[in-house]
Amino acid sequence: MKKYLVAFVILFEINFFFSFLYAQQDSVFNDDESLLKVKKLLPAGWKMISTNDTLIIEREDSVYVLSENRINAPESSETRDEINKRIMKYGRLEKPGLIFRYYTKLDSSEMATTKELSITLQKIIYSLPEKFEIEHLIDKFAMSKGEEIYIGKTSDEKERIENYYKEKNKLFSEIPRLPDFNSEKYSLYLDMIIGMEDQMHLIYPYEVSGEIFKIREILNENLEKIN
């Protein structure tokens, strides 16, 4: 009898814990009408959960993701079936989703200050190659692939490139980030999208990219898009 009582108490505590956890997950959008609307409009097989300062829109089933830089790549003769087989052979299984950090919504004054400082620092960063006299040292092939690489031949050129990256990285770390969206009560910062095909990733099944595109439309139509 005592064993059954202990088991019952443990089972009750586990159920209570998960009930509390799910209540916590739902709390961020249950008191926010715009987020609640987004949750209800998600495609079938998708869910929205929140933990601490993170909000996740996640697909129940996984997809194959293959990282591949296709920026300015020559046209391929591969069929979609051949691409899919390659993705499944060399790719990795991942949970598709959009991952946000969220905080109390910035007011208009905070938004204006953040935007002004961000623009100022970006202008300074943009002028750094001229400041360090390294504009002519950029690798044009790397630039065509979306990368910024400077190549110096002399010790002086290498030193200027090193100083450029140091100052650039320092300034980048000081740029305050604007939220990507504002809901009724929160500012949301998109940290990651997993499962959407682009110039750096191939996805199988490809249809998941369309589902994520639809979710982004839902976000744009029901939240205030900032960034």
- The angle subtended at Cα 21 by Cα 195 and Cα 57, nearest 5°, is 20
Query: Tokens in use for 175?
Result: 């740029």
pLDDT > 70: percent of the chain: 88
Query: Tokens in use for 193?
Result: 């999208």
Phi first, then psi, for residue 36 (nearest 5°) are: -65, -40
Alpha carbon distances (Å) from 4 to 8, 11, 140: 6, 10, 73
pLDDT > 90: percent of the chain: 76
Mean pLDDT on 138-142: 88
Is the distance from CB of 188 to CB of 181 less than 8 angstroms?
A: yes
Q: Is the pLDDT of residue 53 over 50?
A: yes
Query: Tokens in use for 165?
Result: 């990256």
Report the range of poorest mean pLDDT among 11-20, 88-97, 120-129, 152-161.
11-20
Mean pLDDT on 84-98: 96
Q: Is the pLDDT of residue 38 over 60?
A: yes
pLDDT number for residue 31: 85
Tell me the average pLDDT of the chain. Answer: 87
Report the range of poorest mean pLDDT among 28-32, 37-41, 75-79, 207-211.
28-32
Longest pairwise C-alpha distance within the chain: 84
pLDDT number for residue 26: 57
Q: What is the pTM of this model?
A: 0.75
